[in-house]
Every structure is written in structure tokens, then in C-alpha cells.
């Protein structure tokens, strides 16, 4: 069932929130040994919340998410639950407060059933950088689900939960959504509060939903979006009713194809699926034009300076004093810091802290960090120029379908290139979503990216809905043994 269907059944009294939550917990129990999508399952708390939701439904309340079981990436703080962020350094950390995005879901009566696996501190594209072990792609257990919100995407794909929250700094919602065959939306920077979300790269991080359908994504975005005085970067502009415009179609819309995204080296199955999607849009009455985003080539390099610089600063707080694990064999304070950080962080996180510290160090700051900031402005300008000509942009999400576990772990550069089509959107700060648009010759899901103007999430949701209705690619669920 989708959220919309669950809601109908709940309101009609044909099912209870406790029954839905039990079914969800049973599904997790039956499949998570294979998938490893969950880091924490909070069955007891969930059943209490579900019983409360049933009371509210009986009392006549109708909030859209009342009684709907959901899960969140383990980067969101939730009061009294562990938040590991996929890291050993936070292994014993229990949150004293709840992230705004999660609080907005539970205020409506949504039931949180657990916390989902992820790359450590959201650094990765394959979920292989998790202290809790890799997540398996439900379509092929030998393959990665994508990252860093790999647990969120796998859990939704396998219908352990109907929808989940993730975060996206350089593609971490869209790329796993694409590899797992679900819908994932990265809102405009500032659209959703980051309060209570563990920071990776603060100028890029954004919270968003992953779900089995476009409508459910729209519904969740409506629930979590909006100004929050606790996040100084959240933007105070009205949240439209995303469901109201969902069915308006794409007739007369101008869709741009950025020439730089249709490159050699694109997997032939991805190329074919995206080409077919373009024809679907043409058939629905959209006008397709070619556009150019000339600074695309610099995006990955620019991102790995800015993101690592911000990460090196954000992660300085994990020092064994205030948060999580400590290792101290009596070598003094500096020794304790060193031992704690050496033991607590994984290899990729250490690599990024070193890169970022280097980029910010005196003598190199201007050459690397400052220059990257200037390039970022050029990348953003590219998008704004394109949006002067078209309503939205259409591109692939990832250059290939999901790769094998282990295939790229020893080649960080290859791994970084998996986000070549998603990273520019974060640099520009605008919104984009990933939706299923085909399968590879090996039966792996392929995703389509729709990029919208800043704060025009309604436009890309509307275009995505039209595609989902016109094709059979949405809502497919893998068979698990
Ligand atoms: N894969 C990219 C990285 O490793 C993006 C991660 C993300 O969006 N959190 O930084």
C-alpha cells in the first residue's frame, strides 16, 4: 500500500495503526537479515505511538500521516534513540532531542519504527562505509543500494516501510533511490530544516523523502518543509500544497536536456532508458530543448573541496569529550583526542578530514577553498541561466546502474564519479528528484533526474507524476527470498 492507501484504510477503520506497524515490523524481521537496512528497530516505542495514533483516529483526527509507520536515516536525532550516523565514534550516543523534520512527522501522528543504515557521516555512494556493515540492494543482494542513504532506499524498495527520510549532500537521496527503484526528492537548500540532523557539509546538506510513489513523496515533503527558527538557513517562504498541483501534467512545459550530461561513457542501458523517458515526455506534450551547463566538468572537484572543508570543521566536535566513544590509555588530553579519533572514524571519513583540513590550511586556502567557492557560483549561475530558458531539466541520475559490492571500494576517485550528475544540483542549491524510468539488461532499476528551479519542487513533482502515470516503471517491488 502507498501512504495514501494506508490513510484511506485507517480512516475507514478497515485497519489499525497497530496492525500496520506490526506488519511493518514483521517485514523488517523477515528481510533485514538479508538487507541490513536498519541500524535500530524501536518496536516497543513504535507500538506505543501506533496505539496513540489509533486513539486519535477514533477521536476523529485526520492528519495525512496519522498512524503511518515510517523510518528515518540514522543521521536524524530522535529523543531517547541511539544516533550512530553509521560511525563507531557515536556507537554509544543516545539523542537528547528530536530533529525538526522528524518532529513534524510525529506531530501528525506518524509512527517511527527505526533508524536506517547509511555511509558513515553520510560520506559515500555505496553504503559500504558504514560501521554497521554494507546494505544490500534488494534487486540483487550482491550489489550496492547506493549511498549514503542506502538503508532508506533499500528499506523502501523492499517495502519494509512505505517511505523514509534521507539526506542529500551530493546525491545521497537521489542516487540510492535510482539504484533501488524508488522515488527520492532533494528539496531546495533551505526548504527543510536541518536542525537535529548531524552535519556533514552544512552548505550542501538537505533533508528529503524517499517513497514508493511520487504522490507519497509530495505528501511527505509537505509535512516536513517550511521555516524553522532553529535552523538559520531554513527559508521563510510559504509551502505550497504539493498534492493540489500534482495532476496538472506537463503539456506546454519546456524541458531542457543539458548537453554535458549526455556524455560518452554513459552506460548504454541508462542512455536507452533516459532516451525513452524523453520520448514519453514529448508524447505528453512537453517541448524538449537542448541547453548547456558549461561548468559541469568542474563540479566534482569543486564539491570535494567544499564538502571536505566543511566536514573537517563539523567533525572536529567528535573528540571523545562531549559525544560518543572515548579511547584513553593515559597519554594526556591530546593523546586521548588522537586515540579516540583514530579508533572511532573509518578510513573514508579520515581521508575527507585530511583533505578538508589541507584545503583550509593557510597558504592553500585561497588556491583551493576560495577558488572552489568561486567555481560554485559559476555552477549555480549555469543553472539559473538554463532556467531562464526552460521550466525544468531532465538528466540521468547515475552514469551506471548499481555496481557490485566491493567493485569500487579501493578506488575513491571512481566512487566519487558516481555522483557526477547529482553533485551540481547541491552546489547550485536547487531541487531535484529521482524516479524509476527503466531497468537494465540485468534487471536493475534505472532512475531519471528532474531538476527544478529553486523552490519549484511542485513543478518537478508534477512532471514526475505525469511520467509515473504514463508508464509502468513506478511501484515495482523486488522479490526477496
Ligand atoms: N557520495 C557523495 C559523498 O560521498 C554524496 C554524499 C551525500 O550526499 N551525503 O560525499
User: Does a structural domain hold residue 430?
Assistant: no
User: Does a structural domain hold residue 318?
Assistant: no
Task: Show the domain range for 25.
Answer: 3-253
Q: Please tell me the distance between residue 338's alpha carbon and the centre of ligand 1 in angstroms.
A: 26
Choosing from 87, 95, 125, 148, the catalytic residue is 148
Ligand 1 pocket member 168 (CB < 6 A) = yes
> 393 phi and psi, to 5 degrees?
-115, 145
Is 73 annotated in the active site? Answer: yes
Among candidates 243, 21, 239, 223, which has minimal Cα distance to 103?
223
Q: Is the pLDDT of residue 323 over 90?
A: no
Q: Is the pLDDT of residue 474 over 70?
A: yes
User: Does a structural domain hold residue 75?
Assistant: yes
User: Does a structural domain hold residue 307?
Assistant: no
> For residue 288, what is its C-alpha cell?
524538449
> What one-character-per-residue DSSP string does 420-446 give?
TTTHHHHHHT-EEEEEEEEE-TTS-EE
Regarding pTM above 0.85, the answer is: yes
Of 76, 128, 147, best ligand 1 pocket probe by most atoms within 8 Å of the beta carbon: 147
Give CA angle at 156 (444, 167), nearest 5°.
100
Q: Is the pLDDT of residue 230 over 80?
A: yes
Rounded mean pLDDT of the chain? 97
How much is the average pLDDT of 351-373?
A: 94
User: Does a structural domain hold residue 408?
Assistant: no
Rg of the chain over Cα atoms, rounded to whole angstroms, equals 21
Q: Is the pLDDT of residue 457 over 70?
A: yes
| Angstrom distance (rounded) from CA 157 to CA 88 | 27
CATH of the domain at 120: 3.90.1300.10
| Total domains in the fold of the chain | 1
pLDDT > 90 fraction of the chain, expressed in percent and rounded? 95
How much is the average pLDDT of 423-428?
A: 98
How much is the average pLDDT of 159-185?
A: 98
Pairing of the two strands 69-73 and 163-168:
parallel
Q: Is the pLDDT of residue 481 over 80?
A: no
Go through 255-276 and write b for each residue having 16 or more CB atoms within 10 A of its CB, e for each that does not: bbbbebbeeeebbebbbebbee
Is 95 annotated in the active site? Answer: no
Is 371 annotated in the active site? Answer: no
| Angstrom distance (rounded) from CA 230 to CA 238 | 17
Give me the pLDDT at residue 225, please. Answer: 98
Instruction: Give the number of the atom of ligand 1 that is nearest the alpha carbon of residue 122.
Output: 9
Q: Is the pLDDT of residue 48 over 70?
A: yes
User: Does a structural domain hold residue 88?
Assistant: yes
User: Does a structural domain hold residue 222?
Assistant: yes
How much is the average pLDDT of 218-236?
A: 98
Among candidates 392, 394, 477, which has minimal Cα distance to 434?
394
Q: Is the pLDDT of residue 218 over 70?
A: yes
> For residue 135, what is its C-alpha cell?
546494505
How much is the average pLDDT of 141-154?
A: 98
Q: Please tell me the distance between residue 372's alpha carbon and the centre of ligand 1 in angstroms.
A: 17
Q: Is the pLDDT of residue 277 over 80?
A: yes
Ligand 1 pocket member 98 (CB < 6 A) = no
Give me the pLDDT at residue 263, please. Answer: 86
User: Does a structural domain hold residue 249?
Assistant: yes
Amino acid at each position: 500500500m502507498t501512504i495514501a492507501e494506508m490513510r484511506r484504510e485507517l480512516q475507514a477503520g478497515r485497519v489499525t495503526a497497530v496492525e500496520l506497524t506490526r506488519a511493518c515490523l514483521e517485514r523488517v524481521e523477515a528481510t533485514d537479515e538479508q538487507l541490513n537496512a536498519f541500524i535500530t528497530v524501536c518496536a516497543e516505542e513504535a507500538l506505543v505511538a501506533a496505539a496513540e495514533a489509533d486513539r486519535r483516529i477514533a477521536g476523529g483526527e485526520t492528519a495525512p500521516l496519522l498512524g503511518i509507520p515510517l523510518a528515518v536515516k540514522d543521521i536524524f536525532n530522535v529523543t531517547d534513540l541511539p544516533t550512530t550516523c553509521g560511525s563507531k565514534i557515536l556507537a554509544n550516543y543516545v539523542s537528547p532531542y528530536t530533529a525538526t523534520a522528524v518532529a513534524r512527522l510525529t506531530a501528525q501522528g506518524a509512527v517511527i519504527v527505526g533508524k536506517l543504515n547509511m555511509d558513515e557521516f553520510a560520506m559515500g555512494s555505496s553504503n559500504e562505509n558504514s560501521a554497521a556493515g554494507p546494505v544490500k540492494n534488494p534487486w540483487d543482494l550482491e550489489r550496492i543500494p547506493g549511498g549514503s542513504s542506502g538503508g532508506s532506499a533499500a528499506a523502501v524498495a523492499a517495502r519494509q516501510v512505505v517511505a523514509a527520510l534521507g539526506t542529500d549532500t551530493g546525491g545521497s537521496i537521489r542516487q540510492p533511490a535510482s539504484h533501488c527503484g524508488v522515488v527520492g526528492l532533494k528539496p531546495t537548500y533551505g526548504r527543510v530544516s536541518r536542525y537535529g540532523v548531524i552535519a556533514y557539509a552544512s552548505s550542501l546538506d538537505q533533508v528529503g523523502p524517499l517513497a514508493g510513489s511520487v504522490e507519497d513523496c509530495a505528501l511527505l515533503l509537505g509535512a516536513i518543509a517550511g521555516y524553522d527558527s532553529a535552523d538559520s538557513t531554513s527559508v521563510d517562504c510559504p509551502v505550497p500544497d504539493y498534492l493540489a498541483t500534482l495532476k496538472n501534467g506537463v503539456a506546454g512545459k519546456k524541458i531542457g536536456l543539458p548537453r554535458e550530461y549526455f556524455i560518452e561513457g554513459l552506460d548504454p542501458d541508462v542512455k536507452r532508458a533516459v532516451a525513452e523517458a524523453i520520448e514519453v515526455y514529448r508524447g505528453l506534450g512537453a517541448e524538449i530543448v537542448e541547453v548547456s551547463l558549461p561548468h559541469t566538468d568542474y563540479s566534482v572537484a569543486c564539491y570535494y573541496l567544499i564538502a571536505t572543508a566543511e566536514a573537517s570543521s563539523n567533525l572536529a566536535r567528535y573528540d571523545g569529550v562531549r559525544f560518543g566513544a572515548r579511547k584513553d590509555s593515559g597519554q594526556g588530553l591530546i593523546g586521548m583526542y588522537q586515540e579516540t579519533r583514530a579508533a572511532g572514524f573509518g578510513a573514508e571519513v579520515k581521508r575527507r578530514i585530511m583533505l578538508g583540513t589541507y584545503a583550509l590550511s593557510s597558504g592553500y586556502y585561497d588556491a583551493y577553498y576560495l577558488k572552489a567557492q568561486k567555481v560554485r557560483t559559476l555552477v549555480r549561475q549555469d543553472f539559473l541561466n538554463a532556467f531562464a530558458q526552460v521550466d525544468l531539466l531532465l538528466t540521468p541520475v547515475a552514469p551506471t546502474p548499481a555496481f557490485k559490492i566491493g567493485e569500487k571500494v579501493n578506488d575513491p576517485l571512481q566512487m566519487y564519479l558516481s555522483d557526477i550528475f547529482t553533485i551540481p544540483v547541491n552546489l547550485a542549491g536547487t531541487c531535484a528528484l529521482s524516479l524509476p524510468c527503466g531497468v537494465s539488461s540485468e534487471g536493475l532499476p534505472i532512475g531519471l533526474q528532474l531538476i527544478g528551479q529553486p523552490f519549484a519542487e511542485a513543478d518537478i513533482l508534477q512532471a514526475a507524476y505525469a511520467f509515473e502515470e504514463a508508464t509502468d516503471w513506478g511501484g515495482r517491488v523486488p522479490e526477496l527470498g
